[in-house]
Each structure stands twice: as C-alpha cells, then as structure tokens.
C-alpha cells in the first residue's frame, strides 16, 4: 500500500500559511521561528490541523474516520475543541518520533481503521505549529485530489522517513544539520537541503517542517536554496561524494531515462 501526503500546513513567525512558507523557501531566507509570539499554541495547532485538512480536500463535518497524531502538545490541546472530531493520540518526542508516526499511520490506514491521518507538532516553546495529512494513495486518486508526495511501502524505512526512497543516506549526511533531505538523480548527484537553516530551530517541529519542505520540493519540482551556506564542516567527507548544495532555488529536472523524483528525509538529534 502506497501512502500519499495530500495536505500540508505550517505557521511560524512571520509566515502564517503554506504559500508564505514556500515563498520563504524560494527566496532562501531565514526567519526567527522560535522568537516569542502572541499566538496561543493551542489555537495554532487547531488552525494548522484545520488548514491541512482543507488543503487535502478532506475536511468534513464528521471527521470520525480521522486520526490526529500530536507531539509537543498538551492533552487539553485537543482538535475536538476546534470542531475536528476524530481520535487523538499524544506522542512522545525524540529523534525517531516521525518514524513512529509513519508506522502508526501505515497500520491505521492499511487496516481500514481510519481513512485520514493528521500528524501535527508545535515548536517546543509553542511559537509555531505544523501539520501533514496522510491518506491511502488509491483514495486520493479516486477523488482526483492533489498528491504532494508518495511514500512507497515497497521501500524499506530504517533510520529515516523516506519519500520514494531510492537508497539509504550515507555517512556525509550525518555531518549536516538535523531534519534534512537528499534528492537523488540517475547519476547519483545529490542535492542536499536542511530546514533548520530556514526556520531557526530543531526538534520534532523541524522534522515535520522538513517533511513539508521535501514534499513541496517534489511537488513543485524545485531544489530550494539553503540560507547562508558557506561550505561543509568536514570537507574531507565531500571529496569523493556526489553532493551539492543549491545556493539559489533551481528547477528540478528529470534526467534522461528517469521517470520520478526521489527524496529522503533524515531526522537526527542535535549531535547529527
């Protein structure tokens, strides 16, 4: 069973919707996502869940077939408060939490227990919120709705949560920031990216924001610029490595003989 990423939503300092976030990525700018804001984190979480469901074209008055998987959220921060009925699970954080979300989403969707999964997180200080909608690919295709990216069940998920993953990430990736993705081409030329350089924070919020960035990159066929890139901290790891870092946003063209774009999201702790 293939799982579609069909809805996205993010709110951070100075960037209150998905289009503004994409504009930020295109410009290669950094924002102080972890600065104090006047926004209630509970309201932000409810807003992004609602916006992600609308983005996926699956909002309805009865959300009983929807499961909400929340991290960094207090239990009183329940989507039911915002009129979003459905089951709610509060997940512990940690660098493997996104993999746990994937495992739970796959089980719930494959067993037909729900038809929609909303994974959502707040920044640890409550200064931003992000949400992603997962659905069965065949359900989205029947509705003729948008698909940002596909998670292929035939590809093994080990240390990373992958989007159409062609191969496992290798050692040099561990030297970069948390919440990165790698884009593979036919000749193993890999464009590297990171979300922490854009939103200015790490942790579970950054992991899910990184998933949004990877999904937008696949959907819009764009390698987004990396802010303030000066070079690798360990150049010796890069001498024979087929990696490059886009300093300007670039179109992502398919090479001859290839028929799909591939990306991998690496979620690591602060040590890499």
16-58, pLDDT tens digit by residue?
889 989 998 998 888 754 554 555 656 778 889 889 999 999 8
User: Residue 78: how many CB atoms within 10 A of its CB?
Assistant: 17
Find where tokens 């990306």 sit.
Answer: 263
Q: Cα–Cα distance between 83 and 53 in angstroms, integer?
A: 12
Which two structure tokens, joined as six digits, stand for 164? 């159409």
**136-156: per-residue pLDDT in tens?**
999 999 988 899 998 876 553
Length, in residues, of the chain: 272
- First and final C-alpha spacing in the chain: 31
Q: Would you say the pTM of this structure is higher than 0.85?
A: no
3-state secondary structure of 131: strand
């Amino acid at each position: 069973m293939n799982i579609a990423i069909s809805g996205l939503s993010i709110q951070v300092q100075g960037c209150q919707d998905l289009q503004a976030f994409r504009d930020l990525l295109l410009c290669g700018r950094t924002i102080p996502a972890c600065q104090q804001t006047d926004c209630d984190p509970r309201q932000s979480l409810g807003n992004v869940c609602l916006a992600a469901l609308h983005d996926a074209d699956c909002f309805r008055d009865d959300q009983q077939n929807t499961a909400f998987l929340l991290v960094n959220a207090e239990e009183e921060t329940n989507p039911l408060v915002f009129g979003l009925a459905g089951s709610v699970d509060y997940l512990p954080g940690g660098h493997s939490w996104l993999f746990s979300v994937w495992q739970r989403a796959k089980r719930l969707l494959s067993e037909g227990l729900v038809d929609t999964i909303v994974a959502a997180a707040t920044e640890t200080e409550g200064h931003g919120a992000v949400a992603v909608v997962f659905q069965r690919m065949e359900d989205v295709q029947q509705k003729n709705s948008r698909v940002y990216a596909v998670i292929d069940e035939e590809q093994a998920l080990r240390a990373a949560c992958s989007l159409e993953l062609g191969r496992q990430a290798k050692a040099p990736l561990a030297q970069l920031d948390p919440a990165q993705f790698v884009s593979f081409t036919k000749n193993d030329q890999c464009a590297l990216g990171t979300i922490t350089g854009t939103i200015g924070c790490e942790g579970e919020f950054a992991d899910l924001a990184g998933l949004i960035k990877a999904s937008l990159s696949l959907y819009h066929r764009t390698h987004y610029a990396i802010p303030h890139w000066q070079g690798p901290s360990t150049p010796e790891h890069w001498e024979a490595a087929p990696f490059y870092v886009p300093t300007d946003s670039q179109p992502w063209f398919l090479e001859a003989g290839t028929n799909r774009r591939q990306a991998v999201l690496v979620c690591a702790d602060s040590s890499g």
